[in-house]
Structure 1
Amino acid sequence: MKPTKLFTAVWLASAAPLALACADAPPASIDIDANGYYSDANHSVIDPVLRARNIANTKPIEDFLGQVAKDANGQGDAACALAWLESWAGQKALLGKLSSEQSYYVRKWTLGGMALSYARVQASATPAQRQAIEGWFRTLADATIAHSEAKKGGRNNHYYWEGLAVTAVGGVTRERRYLDWGRKVFDHAMAQMAADGSLPAEMERGVKALHYQVYATVPLVMIASIQDLHDPKLDTLVRFTVAASADPSGIAKATGFEQERVGVRDVLTIYGRHEGKPQPAAGKPLWQPRLGGDLEVANPLEHLAAGKSQ
């Protein structure tokens, strides 16, 4: 017996892949209970027990950010990324009690990653989703700025990651005040950089000086791309960082510590497409949820060099 059109339509609807349905967002993390895990004065030696505790306590937040990035980058459904962000926005996630300075680090990393992932799917958001998610991002950005401005003492890579988080919020909300604050952070970093391109606060990190030089450079090149900045000092910073990665002996001599080798493909990828420089050779996927997922696919907020596109 030949199936009717109605039967065929009903069968196709019932056979639709259930796997495509979005899983419910996990309960929002309102409070953040994180802890530092370095055991020496240079913050270069990791205490494995403290590190394990921190990973366990922040896993729900990292898992949330990772899944949003996957969905926003096409490994799932963009609608799922938006639904999860809307869910946490409605519960005022990450706006409760923060147990330590490390908790503030986690919040700013998460905010930057969420905003950069959201930029990839923002065009698909409903007006209600935009209002909820972007309003939440503004509140988190304001809290990030308030905490940062209240801090005393030196500024290091954490300040630059705060600048990136607030810049990314400015990018998705189109609010000048957030972009201006991110630009202030960028300018401060360029002003404190040594003439050779090294960042003094990162050079104080003992065996991890090179690691933190690279880690500090990443948010700065992303801020530059989002804000469409071209600065000779940034060029110097990148040259120094790339050269030190290839040959850490100069940093080892300057700091008195042998250096752990660190790759710079993420730096070269972001900086290169903004400045029209050759891209680094392909390797393992450049996947960083704190930077919006797949770094080899330009974020919609980035400004690419003229004639360059992805």
Structure 2
Amino acid sequence: MVKRLPFILLMLAGAASACEAPPPARGDIEANSYYSDAHHSVIDPVLRAKNIANTRPIEDFLSQVARDANGQGDAACALSWLASWGGQKAMLGKMSSEQAYYVRKWTLGGMALSYARIQRQATPAQRATIEGWFKALADATIAHSDAKKGGRNNHYYWEGLAVTAVGGVTGEARYLDWGRKVLNHALGQMEPDGALPAEMERAGKALHYQVYAATPLALMASILDVHDARLDTLVGFTVAASADPSGIARRTGVAQEPVGSREVTVFYNRHEGRPPLTGKALWQPRLGGALDVPNPLEHLK
């Protein structure tokens, strides 16, 4: 046994050093809008490339955390990365634009949903650091959102998802309550047929943004365990429009870019006890990684 000890220690040391060092935390977020028309439906490729370059370190961080939390790496690495950025109060500095706030809320939601998969493996110190950081980010998200004037669109729904996910992993009712307020607002402003009015104003991207807006709402409903006939209408309209965009094309007067609706229905079907989707597995770091594997925060029927 004594002769084997050094080998065992080497194995343990190798496992401990398998995680790459966390990248430097980003306190500030530099991001820019990249649409060139009044409907925010036409992308300027130069501005888009600039935004991608500036936000890549944050997107890469989120993607790696999602991979590690979803079993493509080591959960301990995801926890160490989250604790590292949490300890440095990442993303709580200067936001250069509205787009920077968008990046922060997308990242917060994705991190919280990935963390939910590995929360039980966190040490007490890691939990205190990560969850305290999440709460600070959620408070900043709420403050920015509540200060905004004007219409509420998909960005409000993604803010709701981020804050709801933080409520799910911290158990704090105030975050869940705020998310429920966002969900109720979204369903309340929905048109009778299930269309979301703000998304219908996006010209050739109206269908794209209908799907994009419905996705966080479907997941929020599952986390909050809300069953609502209005959500059934929303999902039904979104799925039908995705299969046949001609209705939205007539409504907007603009041909629609085709887009699938599986990200919406994968959450909705699980929550409503409907058959699971078939086909290629879905992956989205902003939604916690593997969409086909239920998130611990979801309520399954």
Q: What TM-score bracket applies, with the shorter chain setting the length? A: over 0.9
Off by >2 Å, runs of 4+ in structure 1: 5-20
Aligned match of 1:133 in 89, 107, 130? 130
Residue 182 of structure 2 corresponds to 185
**Of 13-22 and 162-171, the range deviating more from structure 2:** 13-22
What is the letter of the counterpart of residue 295 of structure 2? N
Residue 86 of structure 2 corresponds to 89
1:8 Cα deviation after fit: 3.2
Aligned runs of 1:215-294 on 2, under 5 Å?
215-283=212-280, 285-294=281-290
Residue 162 of structure 2 corresponds to 165
What is the letter of the counterpart of residue 295 of structure 1? L
Question: How many residues are paired up?
Answer: 300
TM-score (norm 2): 0.97
Residue 54 of structure 2 corresponds to 57
1:195 Cα deviation after fit: 0.2
Residue by residue, what CA displacement relative to the aligned partner does 1:197-234 show, whole Å, maximum 9, x if unpaired? 00000000000000000000000000000000000000
Residue 297 of structure 2 corresponds to 301
Aligned match of 2:120 in 97, 101, 123? 123
Where structure 2 has 5 or more consecutive residues not aligned to the other structure, the ranges are none
1:15 Cα deviation after fit: 5.2
Where structure 1 has 5 or more consecutive residues not aligned to the other structure, the ranges are 306-310
1:9 Cα deviation after fit: 3.5
Aligned runs of 1:22-61 on 2, under 5 Å?
22-61=19-58
TM-score (norm 1): 0.95
1:16 Cα deviation after fit: 6.0
Q: Rg: which structure is higher?
A: 1
Q: Separation in 2 of the partners of 1:35 and 1:133?
A: 28
Q: Separation in 1 of the partners of 2:286 and 2:183?
A: 18
What is the letter of the counterpart of residue 52 of structure 1? A
Q: Separation in 2 of the partners of 1:175 and 1:30?
A: 25
1:6 Cα deviation after fit: 2.8
Q: Separation in 1 of the partners of 2:111 and 2:12?
A: 30
Q: Separation in 1 of the partners of 2:187 and 2:135?
A: 26
Aligned match of 1:209 in 172, 186, 206? 206
Residue by residue, what CA displacement relative to the aligned partner does 1:258-304 show, whole Å, maximum 9, x if unpaired? 00110111111111000011122222x31100000000000000000
